[in-house]
């Protein structure tokens, strides 16, 4: 039940994130591709829910792309492992910024998501949609 709720929440937040990012002045990368970051604990003790977050985001992106993308532009998922760790979360957010993402969805542990949010805020308030709380 929790995994289904997590999947549904992730899909809904990704859809909202993409809609919000469409008005962004950022190009999201070359070739008209809109890059969406996905963070979560893909390794370690919380790898199972982290993988569910990543899979939900990737499935949503596949569905959106199969329907023609967003304003004709395809989405690309760019996942970074934060391992529910503050330092690794900071590094994940910084890496995603260098890759030209327009927004981030995911997060699972507050200990990693809060530092990620701080990095994004300092970089110009990129959208970060998360239900993280631990």
Whether residue 89 contacts residue 37, with contact meaning beta carbons closer than 8 Å, is answered with no
> Is residue 7 one of the residues assigned to a domain?
yes
Q: Could you say which DSSP state residue 30 is in? A: G
> Is residue 134 one of the residues assigned to a domain?
no
Token pair belonging to 126: 């990129």
pTM: 0.78
Cα 70 from Cα 24, distance rounded (Å): 12
> Is residue 68 one of the residues assigned to a domain?
yes
CATH of the domain at 81: 3.40.50.2300
Q: Is 19 helix (H, G, I), strand (E, B) or coil?
A: helix
pLDDT in tens, 30-83: 459 999 999 999 999 999 999 999 999 999 999 999 999 999 999 999 999 999
> Is residue 36 one of the residues assigned to a domain?
yes
> Is residue 83 one of the residues assigned to a domain?
yes
What percentage of the chain carries pLDDT values higher than 90? 69
Cα 50 from Cα 125, distance rounded (Å): 24
Number of domains in the chain: 1
Neighbours of 104 (CB within 10 A): 29
Cα 78 from Cα 99, distance rounded (Å): 8
Domain carrying residue 105:
2-129
């Amino acid at each position: 039940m929790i995994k289904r709720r997590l999947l549904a929440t992730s899909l809904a937040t990704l859809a909202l994130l993409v809609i919000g990012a469409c008005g962004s002045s950022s190009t999201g990368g070359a070739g008209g591709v809109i890059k969406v970051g996905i963070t979560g604990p893909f390794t370690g003790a919380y790898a199972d829910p982290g993988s569910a977050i990543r899979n939900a985001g990737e499935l949503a992106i596949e569905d959106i792309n199969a329907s023609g993308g967003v304003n004709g532009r395809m989405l690309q998922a760019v996942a970074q492992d934060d391992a529910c760790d503050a330092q690794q979360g900071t590094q994940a957010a910084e890496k995603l910024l260098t890759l030209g993402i327009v927004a981030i969805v995911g997060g699972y542990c507050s200990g990693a998501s809060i530092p990620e949010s701080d990095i994004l805020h300092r970089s110009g308030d990129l959208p970060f949609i998360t239900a993280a709380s631990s």
